[in-house]
Amino acid sequence: MNPLSHLIVAPILLPLLTAGIMLLLGEKHRPLKARINLLSTLLGLCLAGYLLYWTQVQGATGSFGVYLPSNWQVPFGIVLVVDRLSALMLVLTGIIGVSALLFAMARWDGAGASFHALFQIQLMGLYGAFLTADLFNLFVFFEVLLAASYGLMLHGSGRARVSSGLHYITINLLASSLFLIGTAMIYGVTGTLNMADLAMKIPLVPEADRGLLHAGTAILAIAFLAKAGMWPLNFWLVPAYSSASAPVAALFAVMTKVGVYTVLRLWTLLFSGQAGASAYFGSQWLVYGGMATIFCAALAILPAQRLERMASLSILVSAGILISVIGFAQPALTGAALFYLFSSTLAMCALFLLAELIERSRSANEIPLEDEGEILPRPMESLHPPRGSNLDDEQKVVVGQVIPWTMAFLGLSFIACALLIIGMPPLSGFIGKLNLIAALLNPEGLGASEGAPITPAAWCFLALLILSGLASLIAFARLGVQRFWTPEERPSPVLRRLECLPIVALLGLCVLLSFKAEPLLRFTQATADSLNHPEHYVMAVLGTRTVLSPESKTAAAVEVHP
Asked if residue 97 lies in contact with residue 137, where contact means CB atoms within 8 angstroms, the answer is: no
- pLDDT values of the chain reduced to their tens digit, one per residue, 562 residues: 555 677 888 999 999 999 888 888 877 777 888 888 899 999 999 999 998 888 876 544 457 888 888 778 878 888 888 889 999 999 999 999 999 999 888 877 776 678 888 899 999 999 999 999 888 899 999 889 888 888 888 876 667 777 777 888 888 888 888 989 988 988 888 888 888 888 888 888 888 888 888 888 889 889 888 888 888 888 888 888 888 888 888 888 888 888 899 999 988 888 877 777 777 888 888 999 999 999 999 999 888 888 888 888 999 999 999 999 988 888 888 899 999 999 999 999 999 998 888 876 555 433 333 333 333 333 333 334 444 444 444 444 444 444 446 777 888 888 899 899 998 888 888 888 888 888 888 776 544 545 567 788 888 989 999 999 899 899 888 888 877 776 555 566 667 788 888 899 999 999 998 888 888 888 898 888 888 888 888 888 887 777 765 554 443 333 333 3
Residue 24 has a pLDDT of 84
Cα–Cα distance for residue pair 413/351, rounded to 1 Å: 8
Residue 397 maps to a domain: no
pLDDT the model gives residue 491: 60
Query: Structurally, how many domains does the chain consist of?
Result: 1
Kindly report the length of the chain: 562
Q: What is the pLDDT of residue 61?
A: 46
pLDDT at position 490: 57
Asked if 305 and 238 count as a contact pair (C-beta separation under 8 A), the reply is: no
Give, in order, the Cα–Cα distances in Å from 293 to each of 54, 173, 284, 287, 347. 36, 22, 14, 10, 20
Looking at the domain assignment, is residue 554 inside a domain?
no
User: 84 in a domain, yes or no?
Assistant: yes
Per-residue confidence (pLDDT) for residue 79, from 0 to 100: 87
Q: In angstroms, rounded to a whole number, what is the distance separating the alpha carbons of residues 524 and 48?
A: 16
Neighbours of 264 (CB within 10 A): 25
Quick one: three-class SS letters along 474-540?
Answer: HHHHHHHHHHHCCCCCCCCCCECHHHHHHHHHHHHHHHHHHHCHHHHHHHHHHHHHHHCCCHHHHHH
User: What confidence score (pLDDT) does residue 362 get?
Assistant: 57
Predicted pLDDT of residue 394: 45
Q: Is 71 left (phi over 0), alpha (psi -120 to 50) or beta?
A: left
Q: Is 388 a domain residue?
A: no
- Say if 139 falls within a structural domain: yes
- For residue 405, the model assigns a pLDDT of 63
pLDDT of residue 292: 92
Residues 6+ apart with CB under 8 A from 145: 121, 122, 124, 125, 126, 128, 129, 255, 258
Q: Which of 110, 125, 94 is nearest to 502 (CA)?
A: 94
Please name every residue paired with 66 in a beta bridge, in sequence order, or none if there are none: 81
CB 374 within 8 Å of CB 244: no
Nearest-5° Cα angle at 259, 55 to 143: 100
Rounded to the nearest 5 degrees, what angle is found at the Cα of 344, between the Cα atoms of 342 and 350?
105
Inter-residue contact 285 to 328 (CB < 8 Å)? no
Residue 395, in any domain of the structure: no
Cα 10 to Cα 4, 18, 121, 419, 426, distances in angstroms: 10, 12, 14, 37, 38
pLDDT of residue 402: 45
Residue pair 171/274 in contact (Cβ under 8 Å)? The answer is no
Establish if 39 belongs to a structural domain.
Answer: yes
| Distant-in-sequence, close-in-space partners of 303: CB < 8 Å, separation ≥ 6 | none
For residue 60, the model assigns a pLDDT of 40
Q: DSSP character for 391? A: B
Residue 543 lies in a domain: yes
Answer whether 249's CB lies under 8 Å from 241's CB: yes
Structural domain including 208 reads 3-363+405-444+455-486+495-547
Q: What pLDDT does 375 receive?
A: 37
Helix (H) or strand (E) holding 65: strand 65-67
